[in-house]
Amino acid sequence: MPDAPAYGALFDRLQRSAFRSRFHLGQQEREYALKQGAEVLRSHAEDFVRKRLAPACIPGDGRQTPMRGHPVFVAQHACACCCRSCLAKWHGIPAGRELSQEQQDSIVSLLMAWIGNEMSMPAPAARQDRARRRKAAEAFQLSLLDGD
Ligand SMILES: [Zn+2]
């Protein structure tokens, strides 16, 4: 099973996508990840991939992965493993064919590597703080303009 550094090139590519790079774990997803631990998250990832991605035919493909609510869902969007058309486009895995166990395992490893990376970065509280400070600074600037 490849280590996180093996995904460097792929993570770089995903980072260059405005859509993919938008996805980050929120506070609740982080807390959930910490509470459950990596082993439990991995078993959830295996389950989601087996049930929602692996079948050859998935009714409503493209809508099977919620945008939030579980760290693995967020990872799936961030890593373009959310549906079969994204798997085909980003990972060259053809749609309409059942995923092999090996393909499922490598998707799960990728998702877990992304979650590991994400958990090693600053919590979103810090980001929110920055956003709040920026908003306050903007409001302050506007109040100066209001003076005329
Ligand atoms: Zn997709």
> How close is the Cα of 60 to the center of ligand 1, in Å?
11
C-alpha dihedral (105, 66, 43, 13), degrees to nearest 10? 40
pLDDT on residue 123: 78
Sign of CA dihedral 122, 123, 127, 129: negative
Q: Distance, CA 136 to ligand 1 centroid (Å)?
A: 36
Q: Does 4 have pLDDT greater than 70?
A: no
d(CA 118, CA 9): 16
Task: Please give the distance, rounded to the nearest whole angstrom, from the Cα atom of residue 41 to the centre of ligand 1.
Answer: 20
Gap from CA of 65 to ligand 1 centroid (Å): 8
Query: What is the pTM (predicted TM-score) of this model?
Result: 0.81
- For 51-74, how does the pLDDT look when each residue is reduced to its tens digit (9 = 90+)? 999 999 999 999 999 999 999 999
